[in-house]
Structure 1
Amino acid sequence: MMPLFARKPLRDLGRQKAKTLLILLSIIISLSIAGIILHTKLQFEAALKESMNQSHVSDAAFYTNSFQTLPARLHKLDGIKEAEAKISVRARAKTEEGFKNIEIAGLPDQQNYQIGQIHLYKNHPSDAASYAETTTLQLFQWKAGQTIELLIPGEKQKSLKLSGTVTDPSRIPAPFSGTGYLYLSSEALKKLGVPLTYTQILIEFEEGTSKEERDQLITRISKVLKSSGITSYRTEHAEETYYIRNTLVSAILTVLIWFGLFSLVLGFILITHLFHRVIAEHVKEMGIQRVVGAPLSFIWKQYFLYLGIIGSISFMCSAGVSYFGSKWAVRYLAEELNIGSYTETIHPSVVYLLLLLSFAIPYLGAFVPIQKVLNKPLTDTLRNMPHSFPSHKAKKSFGRFSLSVLSWRHAFSKKGQMVSNILMLSFGGAIIISCLALNQTLNSHLNQMNKFWNYDQEWSVKSKLPKSEMTALFKKTEGVSEAEGWTVRNTEIKLDKGGKHNALLMALPERSKLITPAVKEGQWLKRGGKPAIVINEDLRTMLGSPKPGEKAELQIGKERKTFYIEGIIGSQLRGPAAYMGGTDYEKWLLADTANRIAVKLTSGAKSGKVSEQLEKQLTDQGAAVEGTETIQAMQERPKQIIGLIVASILAAGILFTVLGLLNLMTATSMNVYERQKEIGITRAIGGSSGKILRMFAAESLIIAMISWSLAAAFSYPLSHFLSTQIGTALLGSPLQSGFYLDGIFIWLTASIVIGLGASAVPVIKSLAKPLPKMLED
């Protein structure tokens, strides 16, 4: 037989279905939002780690000159678990938009590599097998089985049939890097005329190797390679290949977690007020139970069970929504950012947190109103009428009656509920306004970054011609107004105070006409004086924020030299980079060649036609073209990163706004439910449905308009927060922030729609009831 204290809670659940459902809805939505965001972050970090482990991504990659055999001494070095040599070639592939840069990797003849494992999907088996990486397939709009045209430096255009696709999590997604990836068998490489010599060495360290030990091992490996006649041009750590993906997602999800926590607090405040109103209907019942001798423990048991049922339902629903919501989010991120594998199990810590909050929120939310009733004298509880706690405050008269006055009085009659509704809507609105402002700021910053490149095309060439002859060859081409020969190489930069990192080194004319750097500190390159470099903000952040005037040691191959940091320039979202005057570079390495040509076209010149002419002239001169790219294509890639950031935060703002709208509708529905008899009396004395609808609409509009004004005020500090977090994560320094008037007026329109929409549904539903039924309530 069911205990007596259990019957009443179950009866109350059935009797107060509407209010209980509204409370459940508020709890489930608040917990689900927080659960989805937190679980997505944890699952993405786990997926990133799992992808690196399963793919056996190299701990260090050495890019070298061509060699035939991997030095046997590498395997004998303590701390090295595995060392493998691989083929890597730069080339170009023909697409619908012209030739695009591509990197070709050689496949092993018999078995898969132990380091940097990939997954092949064979659709069209062939001896001359060629596989396109999945994000490359999407970027170039290729299909498995089609024939593609390739240009290998120094070779004529040749064709290959795609045998299938490859997933390689170690690769930065092609849309972000602008470079495609192909994997070819030995037969396919021979068909293209590529020599079967190695140009890359991948190293996997023993587990537990510290960062200091790894740095020492890299130095010892470089010495072994040097003694074997192999020159290492660049060393890349595993973290660098995952840096942009991890930074991008971590920055977004960290911001969203803070938003989720704040919305959870606001949701708890609203839920507390909803419980206050539910308990208010039980005041007289609790008084009667106390009169007939029921102990306080008996009353607490009733509500413990009642709240336990709410907590159980909240947990099951929020856990399910969190799982499926984060599952979709992680799957989307894994596909967009080329993360090879991910798990779809729910994280235990999220389960425990949701379990705790599912019961803590209703118990804590109901504790104060229950305790408040139990502390009342019995005479007050027996005298109290349902739907309200007694108030001794005198109501101030407005002197006249009208629907607007009544709307104002009802809107402000439940101040706690009104404040929580206003804060929730204001928070969502502030996020949307700030997100629109962030989008404007990022695009403005992107336009400033794009001014750095004052040319139209960039050519990567390999030639023995002196720099002056190479640039003269470009300048005499019809349609070219200016050309400059640059040298672009990878280097390792080390500071005296200990900072060390790989970077792209660009040696260019001190008075270059084709770039306009935005100098943040110090000055741009100058002719003469002490050997100096200029670094960008990305490199500055990774080196520990050095100041102009500090010394930095640069290493290229076997050569090392100390330079002064002359200035700091803004980021171009292309990673860490250092800039050096062409004169200093030539004196250091005694080289007068260029491997990169920047080209500015004349007004009205057609890029494709100029490219064809340059291609022919370079081939006639024996120069090998390793890659070409237009500045327009380079400028488009950062927009995809910015678009992903803005879309993610904007989605969160919309989600929180929906939560605020649902909370407002919840509160409005409860108001309508509690005022059924009032609505019925108004209709009975001749009040039209339109007037009743306008009265409730005015109440919602008052809350919506107050929330709009607060959202506009909150958007400024929130915009500053977003600009600081996103700017520091992506660019190494905070972005400028300010008011965005267009966003404020957009949110004004949305607030009016939200205010009208929140009241329309519950009121129209109530007006559809028969008048006798309303008067009975």
Structure 2
Amino acid sequence: MFNFTVVPPRWRKVMADLWGNKLRTLLVVLSVTVGVFAVGMVYSAYLMFERDLAISWKSAAPASASLYADPFDEELVDSVRSLRGVKEAQGRRNVDLRVQTASGEWRQMYLTALPDYTEQKVNIIKPQSGAWPPGDGDVLLERTSLADLGVAQGGSIQVETPAGKKRTLKVTGVVYDSSQISSMFSGRSYGYINMDTLEKLDEERKLDQVNFVVEPWVLKGQETAPIEAIGRRGWSKLEQGNTTVFWLQVNKPGEHPLQSIINALILLLTVLGVLSLLLGTFLLVNTVSAILTQQTRQIGIMKAIGARRDQILKMYLILVGAYGILALAVAAPLGALAASAVTGFMAQVFNFDSGGLELPPKVLLVEAVAAIIVPVLAAIWPIWRGTGITVREAVSDYGIGNVAAKNRIDVWVDRLLERLSSLSRPILLSLRNTFRRKWRLALTLLTLTVAGTVFMAVFCVRSSLYSTLDDALDYFRYDISISFTQNYRATRIEHEVLKVPGVKAAESWGFSSGRILRDERKESEDDASKNVFVLAPPVDTTMIQSKIIEGRWLVAEDESALVVNTEAVKDNPQLKVGSQAIIKVGTRKLKFTVVGIAKSTLTGPIVYAPYPWFTGAIQEAGGARSVQIVTHSTNSKEQTDLGRKLEKHLKDNNLRVQNVDVTWEQKQRIRSQFDVLTVFLLIMAVLLAFVGALGLTGTMGINVLERTREIGVMRAIGASSIAIGKVFVVEALCIGVLSWLFGVILAVPIAFLLSYQVGVMFLQSPLSFSFSFLGVGIWLLLSALLSVLASLLPARNAARLSVREVLGYE
């Protein structure tokens, strides 16, 4: 059996300090644990993301780029495959239709058809269970779509074709397609069929997408320019086959399309994790300083019997290290579990395979540094300063008088309290005691203020995201947008739409896609031309709230005039008001004069041309591919119902509807995507608030110990337990309110910078800043609640002290 008496006295003292004040040890260990947990979780999650995302993405042989176009014959895929620099090219067909969920709700679905599932070489779709490949009239569901549709393998789904006909497809299997965004994130379902099933859905047996992989020698690191150059040549090949190409999507070599979003999210979480660690370290330093103050006489006695300063320093550093080791023992497994849960959730959101629970040695090393080395280094100065006291100073210390002489802050506080003389004595004493230990108050305020600042800043980011989304969707003033699979007469479209009760106004728009060229030379087609969508609304449209930042909007006299948005200008800096723009639409090169630049948000590169001139120039005079609708009702449910009625009516009248977008549903879908970000930020902010609450609890506990004799004096002159407890509760509340005030002041610039950075990282443009007074109000309530809760146990301990106990206190 272990003999405790053989342990040297100094180490017995360390053990006694750890075990003798269990509440203090618990608070310090918890505060360090939160920081180490946050750092470990974020770093471990980052390593899991980096590993799992890369494995899932590379195993699918991802396309270097994809071309999207109107339906074309399979021979055109061979023309793309024959291009110099292309290693492999394969085509597929995508059908956008409606599917009925198990709950009876109709939602959008993409059905993809491949010519040969057994010869996949690009964007490989992997079978997970059931039949392979899909049979005639069958569908394989992407794994993330099962829960959304509420069906299982062996069941069936009912779809409605663009022509308005309903078809039933049997679900015979489940597949994994890493190139698709999760249904939970995109709001769409995904299924896979064979080419024969296309005909049962009233679709041509043709392709509309080409995925291609470039040869290794084409790549230059992670640059996309060489891939874009080949993609533009592929675009021209498709156009030569008399098909309209809509978009060229280029992927960064070796990187998941959503990798930048994930990296940005990890970066934000890392910043907040490091903040948690720093705040936990501040609390530890605060606690160590208080221990040294409380044990001043002990230090004097140790020096009196021959202890050197370096020996005492080592003893207290060992105590700090012990706190860190205990924190590491708790934080390391919890961090690994949390990282596994976070990675699993993100795997569902971004559709990749998670490798499961893991605690890599490098993560454990980082956690050990955060738990032991960082606190020890932070504690060296306060311990060195505290152990520098002389024997005479130490033995003459009685605690109650060991308060610094009055300075300006004390004088200011005393003057303020004189004006508040109507308050009760316990409250006045609480207000005075708040500023008694200024260094400790500063560290506690710093902890709570940083927590509050981050908390309020996160709410501001959330508000700014929503404000940016509102600005983007306010640009388009319609309630419902309907696009068609082909061009129809605008008068026919509007005539049919206005027949449906509930429609207030309707506008048909021309639409096409093209590339902005540098000049008219043939070489420019394969040069640095960029994708752009061309919208052709009536010049007097009421469906767009144009935000012109330079020049003007289109007018009735305009012919070849063009308004470009800021996204298009970013890709094509040569576009200026008064300059010439050449856009290749199909096989035609159209010359425009830029008359205005409009602000864009979340819309991509778009240019606006006058409807009559543009539709004539592309030989679709009087035609349109979309209609924008304003409803009489502002009720969201009624707008959704009207969208469904419009879709049915148009299909019944032989208009092939491709998609129906209800504006409020689109806004809700994007909000849910934003919420993934804000939820993670709020989790980290709550962790910071927890550290702040621990810091305040520790501070109040230390104050009770330091004021033990004062409590005895108050007891001796008749103070009740409630009055004594109230002193500490009100003091904690004062600290909480002060931290809230400082937090509000700091939250404005921090929230602005954070919102700006989040916008740049996630949306490639700054957010429309919106300060959240809701966050300010919530943090005020939380800081008051946390302050009261943090003070309850110390106040209870203070109220239970008797006169006899305090007279014997050392």
Report the TM-score range of the alignment, normalised by the length of the smaller protein: 0.7 to 0.9
Q: Partners of 1:135 and 1:521 in 2: how far apart?
A: 44
Q: Deviation at 1:687?
A: 2.9
Q: 1:591 aligns with which of 620, 624, 627?
A: 620
Whichever residue aligns with residue 537 of structure 2, its letter is: L
Instruction: Quote the residue 1:372 is aligned against.
Output: 385
The residue that corresponds to 1:722 in the other structure is 754
Deviations 1:339-358 (A, max 9, x none): 44456434666444332232
Match of 1:147 in 2: 156
Q: 382-391 vs 163-172, which deviates more?
A: 382-391
Name the structure 1 match of 2:3.
none
Q: What is the number of residues matched between the two proteins? A: 776
Contact 1:233–1:556 (Cα < 8 Å) also in 2: no
CA separation of 1:618 and 1:736: change in aligned 2, threshold 3 A: closer
Residue 180 of structure 1 pairs with residue 193 of structure 2: no
Q: Which residue of 1 aligns with 2:135?
A: 127
Corresponding residue for residue 510 of structure 1: 539
User: How big is the shift at 1:105?
Assistant: 0.7
Give the equivalent residue in structure 2 for 1:569: 598
Cα distance 1:313–1:555, how it changes in 2: closer, same or farther (>3 A)? Answer: farther
Say if 1:50 and 1:580 are closer, same or farther in 2 by CA, change over 3 A: farther
Structure 1 position 667, deviation (Å): 1.3
What residue in structure 2 maps to residue 93 of structure 1?
99
Q: Which moved more, 1:449-458 or 1:341-350?
A: 341-350
Q: How has the CA–CA distance of structure 1 residues 703 and 725 changed in structure 2, closer, same or farther, with 3 Å as cutoff?
A: same
Q: Which moved more, 1:566-575 or 1:709-718?
A: 566-575
What CA distance in whole angstroms lies between the structure 1 residues aligned with 2:257 and 2:279? 34
Preserved contact between residue 55 and residue 117 of structure 1 (Cα < 8 Å): yes
Deviates more, 1:467-476 or 1:403-412: 467-476
Please give the alpha-carbon distance, in whole angstroms, between the structure 1 residues aligned to 2:546 and 2:481: 17
Label 1:767 to 1:693 Cα distance change in 2 as closer, same or farther (>3 A): closer
Equivalent position amino acid for 1:490 in 2: S
**Which residue in 2 is equivalent to 1:327?**
340
Decide whether the 8 Å contact of 2:34 with 2:276 is kept in 1: no
In the alignment, what sits opposite 1:424?
447
Cα distance change, pair 305–118 in 1 and its aligned pair in 2 (3 A): same
Deviation at 1:760, TM superposition (A): 0.9
TM-superposed deviation, 1:262: 4.0
Asked if 1:453 is matched to 2:487, the reply is no
Hey, what's the Cα distance between the residues in 2 that align with 1:426 and 1:375?
A: 31
1:669-717 C-alpha deviation (Å, 9 max, x unpaired): 2222444454456446543211111111121111112112212222222
After superposition, residues 423-442 of structure 1 pair within 5 angstroms as 423-442=446-465
Say which SS state the counterpart of residue 455 (structure 1) adopts. coil
Aligned match of 2:65: 60
CA deviation string 1:198-254 (max 9, x = no partner): 332211224461233323332444455566777644321235999985565555554
The amino acid of 1:578's aligned partner reads V
Instruction: Give the 3 Å change call, closer, same or farther, for CA 69–695 of structure 1 in structure 2.
Output: same
2:74 & 2:327 partners in 1: Cα distance? 64
Cα offsets for 1:331-380 (capped at 9, x unmatched):
22222333444564346664443322322333223212332244444433
Deviation at 1:759, TM superposition (A): 0.9
User: Higher mean Cα deviation, 395-404 or 229-238?
Assistant: 395-404
CA offsets 1:165-188 (integer angstroms, 9 cap, x no match): 333232234455454322113454
Q: Residue 694 of structure 1 is aligned with which of 722, 726, 743? A: 726
Distance 1:738 1:14, change over 3 A: same
The 8 Å contact of residues 94 and 209 in structure 2, kept in 1 or not, is answered as yes
CA distance in 2, matches of 1:141, 1:745: 40
Q: CA deviation at 1:486?
A: 2.0
Query: 1:83–1:733: structure 2 CA closer, same or farther, 3 Å change rule?
Result: closer
What corresponds to 1:317 in structure 2? 330
The aligned residue for residue 205 of structure 1 is 214
1:117 to 124, 127, 135: 124
Counterpart of 2:548 in structure 1 is: 519
CA displacement at 1:739 relative to structure 2: 5.3
Counterparts of residues 359-758 of structure 1 (less than 5 Å): 359-384=372-397, 402-463=425-486, 465-475=488-498, 480-493=503-516, 501-529=530-558, 531-541=560-570, 548-549=577-578, 552-571=581-600, 573-592=602-621, 593-601=623-631, 608=641, 612=645, 615=648, 619-620=652-653, 622-676=654-708, 678-679=710-711, 682-683=714-715, 686-729=718-761, 732-737=764-769, 740-758=772-790
Q: Quick one: distance in 2 between partners of 1:269 and 1:452?
A: 48
2:190 and 2:615 map into 1 onto residues whose CA distance is: 33
In 1, Cα distance between the equivalents of 2:72 and 2:770?
53
Q: Does residue 218 of the first structure (1) align with residue 231 of the second (2)?
A: yes
Identity %: 23
Alpha-carbon distance, 1:664 to partner: 0.4
Bigger drift between 636-645 and 551-560 goes to: 551-560
* Matched residue type, 1:598: Q
Gapped runs of 5+ residues in structure 2?
1-5
Which of residues 22, 28, 34 in structure 2 aligns to 1:23?
28
Matches of 1:329 and 1:545, distance apart in 2: 44
Aligned with 1:56: secondary structure? coil
Query: 2:59 is matched by which residue type in structure 1?
Result: Q
Task: Tell me the TM-score normalized by structure 1.
Answer: 0.87
Alpha-carbon separation, structure 2, partners of 1:388 and 1:67: 92
Instruction: Tell me how far apart the structure 2 counterparts of residues 300 and 608 of structure 1 sit (CA, whole Å).
Output: 74
Q: Measured at CA, do residues 104 and 418 of structure 1 come closer, stay the same or move farther in structure 2, by a change above 3 Å?
A: same
Taking structure 2 as the reference length, the TM-score comes to 0.83
- Contact 2:31–2:695 (CA<8 Å) still a contact in 1? yes
Preserved CA contact (<8 Å) 1:281 1:388: no
Q: 1:425 to 1:296 in 2, by over 3 A?
A: closer
Determine if contact 1:677/1:776 at 8 Å carries over to the other structure: no
Measure, in 1, the Cα distance between the counterparts of 2:608 and 2:394: 80
State whether structure 2 residue 80 is matched by structure 1 residue 80: no
Shift of 1:283: 4.0
Aligned with 2:118: secondary structure? coil
Which deviates more, 411-420 or 624-633? 624-633
What is the Cα deviation at residue 502 of structure 1? 3.0
Structure 2 distance, partners of 1:63, 1:110, is: 20
| 8 A Cα contact 2:726 2:795, kept in partner | no
**Structure 2 Cα separation of the partners of residues 368 and 283 of structure 1:** 16
Change (3 A) 1:412 1:247: same
Deviation at 1:32, TM superposition (A): 2.5
